[in-house]
Amino acid sequence: MKDKPTVLILCTGNSCRSHIAEGILQEAAGELLDVQSAGSKPAGYVHPKAIAVMKELGIDISDHTSKHMDEFLNRKVDTVITVCGNADQACPMFPGQVNRYHWGFDDPAHAKGTEEEIFAEFRRVRDQIKLVFKAYAAGLRRGKLL
């Protein structure tokens, strides 16, 4: 059996957006892809509110870990997707990398306000990520993307 192509989703801290995207893409196309995430300056944890808003979708990312993108420099990475501008600028070329996309999203970890307002921002960003990554998965299924 052929190995699944690796898609690496990068964000600076690898604590919110990249894990949300990883969870959504894994759920949408995990049988087609090896989906991973990492950061250029990993925070060392996955944000609890990211875990909570993903749980609302029935996607469990509580076992994800914050990783540095250098962990993937010796692995074949077919596609790199950056989800924040800083990671896009810091992103190296990975061995075997064929495709690179940048889809930037606001960082919900910087949200201010009441607890409910902050959760609303996490949900808003999650829903934007979901739209983009579900569309990407649909394109994969039609054989138009990787």
Q: Tokens standing for 53?
A: 């808003």
| Distance from C-alpha of 18 to C-alpha of 23, rounded to nearest angstrom | 9
State yes or no: is 16 an active-site residue: no
Cβ neighbours for 69, distance < 8 A, ≥ 6 positions apart:
8, 10, 38, 39, 40, 87, 90, 91, 92
Is the separation of the CB atoms in 53 and 122 below 8 Å?
A: yes
Among residues 9, 10, 11, 54, the one annotated as catalytic is 11
Active-site hit among 50, 91, 129, 140: 91
Which entry of 7, 38, 51, 84 is annotated as an active-site residue?
A: 84
CA dist list (Å): 57 to 27, 53, 60: 10, 7, 9
Give the active site residues: 11, 84, 91
